[in-house]
Amino acid sequence: MTIQYRFALDGTEHTTAFQYVEGCPGRPYRFGDKDKIRAVEVADFYISATQVTQDLWSHVMGAANNPSHFRGGRKPVENCSWGEITRPGGFLSKANKCNIPSSLLQQIQGATAAVLRLPTETEWEYAARGGVHWTDGYVYSGGNDIEPLAWYERNSGKETHEVASKAPNQLGIYDMCGNVWEWCQDTHTTEIGNIPIDGGAHSGPGVDRILRGGCHHNWAIHCTVSKRYEIAHNYRDECIGFRVVLDVMRAAKRDSIPQ
């Protein structure tokens, strides 16, 4: 299922899509890689089908506040830190105060409230692997051949490209490998045993956060669905962007929305 947010910018209509990701209650997802595996049950969620674009950022934050190095409305916003996204007055704060959640909420039967946030690391990896199709075992998001799926060192010219200009994965989600690294909600941990078994974000002490997916100037090995990369929460450059999750509360699940 796809839901859409439509907005106007400079007299032009734009659309941002969110893809439904079915969870795996009772059928644990195997987070991680090789000998570092954690069985996790993931709840249903919606994730943006593309990285947040400069058009959407400008719609929420104002065009004068676009931090991106590689300019282009349909290119991913980049050069933004975890803190600039999550702080009071940052992107998520402003996006949740405008009509984005309410517009999307109207398209979900039985939903009573919704909030935008960064994906947890588990949600990101689960979506990148194709959700319930994760047993396909692909190296990259959508397949084992990176060329049709991702902008990376050998095909990008070492710059970002418009979102959704490569093939999607099994769920219709684009660019989860390559183009720009993506922030996750979690505090970084090297111990797989610290990853919450309910699919939530690890919130232990530390200043480092998690990036996933690789970017336009990385080798293919850095763009796999299993690559984990830690970096300081205040770091920013032209290789780092993000996508968002719509966390939905239904009448029977009132405790599922973070406060």
Taking only the tens place, the pLDDT of each residue in 113-129 is: 999 999 999 999 999 99
Taking only the tens place, the pLDDT of each residue in 83-118 is: 999 999 999 999 999 999 999 999 999 999 999 999
User: Does residue 123 contact residue 47 with C-beta atoms inside 8 Å?
Assistant: yes
- Is the per-residue pLDDT at 257 higher than 50? no
Give the list of residues 6+ apart from residue 67 with CB closer than 8 angstroms, or none: 77, 78, 79, 80, 84, 236
Average pLDDT, the chain: 95
- Is the per-residue pLDDT at 213 higher than 80? yes
Residue 258 pLDDT grade (very low, low, confident, very high; cuts 50, 70, 90): very low
How do beta strands 36-40 and 208-212 pair?
unpaired
CATH T-level fold of 2-250: paralog of FGE (formylglycine-generating enzyme) (3.90.1580)
**Residue whose pair of structure tokens reads 């935008």 in the numeric block:** 116
- Is the per-residue pLDDT at 79 higher than 50? yes
Q: pLDDT value at position 34?
A: 87
Residue 176 pLDDT grade (very low, low, confident, very high; cuts 50, 70, 90): very high
Where are the domains positioned within the chain?
2-250
**Residue whose pair of structure tokens reads 């994965």 in the numeric block:** 169
- Is the per-residue pLDDT at 254 higher than 80? no
Q: pLDDT value at position 185?
A: 98
**pTM of the shown model:** 0.95
Taking only the tens place, the pLDDT of each residue in 218-245 is: 999 999 999 999 999 999 999 999 999 9
Taking only the tens place, the pLDDT of each residue in 25-61 is: 999 999 999 889 999 999 999 999 999 999 999 999 9
Mean pLDDT of 143-148: 98
CA separation for the pair 104, 101 (Å, rounded): 5
CA separation for the pair 76, 239 (Å, rounded): 10
Q: pLDDT value at position 64?
A: 96
> In this prediction, what percent of the chain has a pLDDT beyond 70?
97
Query: 18: closest CA among 62, 40, 50, 58?
Result: 50
